[in-house]
Chain A
Amino acid sequence: MKKLTEKMISESVARLCIDANLHLRPDVDSALARALSKESGIQAKKILKQLVDNARIAKADRVALCQDTGMPVVFVDIGRGVDVSSLDMTRAVNKGVREGYKRGYLRNSIVLDPLAREGASKFSPCVIHFTFGRHKGMRITVLPKGFGCENKTQLKMFNPTATIGDIKDFIISAVQQAGPDACPPYILGIGIGGTADYACQLSKEALLRPIDKPNPLGAVAKLEKELYKKINQSGIGPMGLGGNTTVLGVNIKTFPTHIAGLPVCVNISCHVLRSASVIL
């Protein structure tokens, strides 16, 4: 049994916060490069070039990719062979977030009181999802989610008799409503099934899968592909100025649900989709 300390956890989280905010995920980086070579719109191409350059500059200058360094969502997946029984995990993770955001010169975007919009927080608390699995070790993933795109999230509770067409229309309309405002080209995280809250969590988890890897279920992978194609024909384009690059990826995650319902959550990510993981 590997005994983990609070320091090991907070230090890992701190590093992940910096890594995620400074280094564009390789799958997103190559999707941008691919989009740049394929894009036909002139203004769209220029914008994609800026985005490719942005990732290079962020890395070289050690400056955050985007000034909105997000609200960190931290997934802690505790597997076998690790002992954390004596630790205050929530405290350890939040400590890591605070240290990482401070050390990385990232932005403090958290207000403690959501209504009064006051309270000088020190980068935390973050949102934490704890899960337990059968794998070995503890996996920690940090997903700093910017709010320009988080604000465009949509949840719909469909009837169980809804058709695939209804679901597609809902997803496409969510992207159209976001339009130019949430920094396209987008990456879509879509959660289907579970309960209302769980569909939202699934949509976030979907964003963690590399965008060049389709869903392992054939029918779901087909839906991802269809949506990807259809949305890229919408003409929204980079920054909403037209072009054939509106989404860089469509990731769906499904889960069993109730006979009376079909929750679908669309969580839009801007092109700066950030996440980083480690296994302890």
Chain B
Amino acid sequence: MSFFNDNFIKLLTRSKDEFSGLRAGDEVLLTGDIYTARDQAHKKLIELIRKGGKLPFDLKGQIIYYCGPTKTPPMRVIGSCGPTTSARMDKMTGPLLEAGVKAMIGKGRRSEEVRGLIKKHKAVYFLATGGAGAYLAKRVISVKPVAFKELGPEAVYRLRVKDFPLIVGIDSQGNDIFRK
């Protein structure tokens, strides 16, 4: 049985309009490229933005996944790769949205400030199922290291995902699934 056997929305990461049409609570199967970045990668990206330095990848229109995967076992595309707690990134989310990030994937609540920023930038916050790292690994079809290799599991990787199961946590109008 498929996890989402009804009413899911098939979504491509590169589509523009469809993101703003999403509503909190919608179930989505996402296909395309997403970029992992958690605590230390955020810190580095923000320092670069502040100094006006060249970013290792263009943040415009990208989707950031709060994730630090395990090492990749032989014959696998990626190791366990579920979301980490989003709230730790709350204080660092503003500059990334300013730089054009259009969506974030994580788990748990966001601050009121972040909810406001998401609305302002017409971005989206998605929830992935925490602790389902082996399950989610099945939906990743390729991995490419992009930046900050020295951070190990906290480095930035580009994941190409297919039908990655998500739930809309905060939509572009600022509706929050946890504040209903």
Contacts and interface: CB of A to CB of B under 8 A. Distances in A.
A68 B84 contact: yes
- Identify the 7 closest CB pairs spanning chains A and B, nearest first: A181-B108, A58-B134, A183-B130, A64-B80, A54-B135, A105-B71, A67-B80
Interface in B139-155: 152-153
B153 A107 contact: yes
A87 interface: no
B48 interface: no
A148 B85 contact: yes
B83 to A, nearest CB: 9
Size category of the binding interface on chain A: 35 or more
Contact of B68 (A67, A151, A271): A67
B115 interface: no
16 contacts: A46-B4, A50-B165, A51-B129, A53-B135, A57-B134, A63-B137, A64-B134, A65-B131, A66-B131, A66-B133, A107-B68, A148-B85, A181-B108, A181-B109, A183-B130, A239-B107
A144 to B, nearest CB: 11
Given A58-B134, A239-B129, A270-B131, A63 B70 contact: yes
B22 to A, nearest CB: 16
A51 B128 CA distance: 12
A109 interface: yes
B174 interface: no
A67 B127 contact: no
A254 interface: no
Q: How large is the interface on B (under 10, 10 to 19, 20 to 34, 35 or more residues)?
A: 35 or more
A106 interface: yes
B127 A239 contact: yes
B67 interface: yes
B71 A107 contact: yes
Interface of B: 1, 3-4, 25, 27, 40, 67-73, 76, 79-82, 84-85, 87, 107-109, 127, 129-135, 137-138, 152-153, 165, 167, 177-178
Given A46-B3, A49-B3, A117-B40, A109 B153 contact: yes
Contacts of A63: 70, 73, 76, 79-80, 133-134, 137
Contacts of B3: 46, 49-50, 53
Nearest to A152: B85
B23 to A, nearest CB: 14
Interface in A72-117: 105-109, 117
A236 to B, nearest CB: 10
A180 interface: yes
B46 to A, nearest CB: 15
A183 B67 CA distance: 14
B129 A67 contact: no
Nearest to B68: A67
A67 B136 CA distance: 10
Contacts of B73: 61-63, 105
Given A43-B25, A57-B137, 19 more contacts: A43-B27, A46-B4, A50-B129, A50-B132, A50-B135, A57-B134, A63-B70, A64-B70, A64-B79, A64-B133, A66-B80, A66-B130, A67-B82, A105-B73, A107-B69, A108-B152, A151-B85, A181-B108, A181-B109
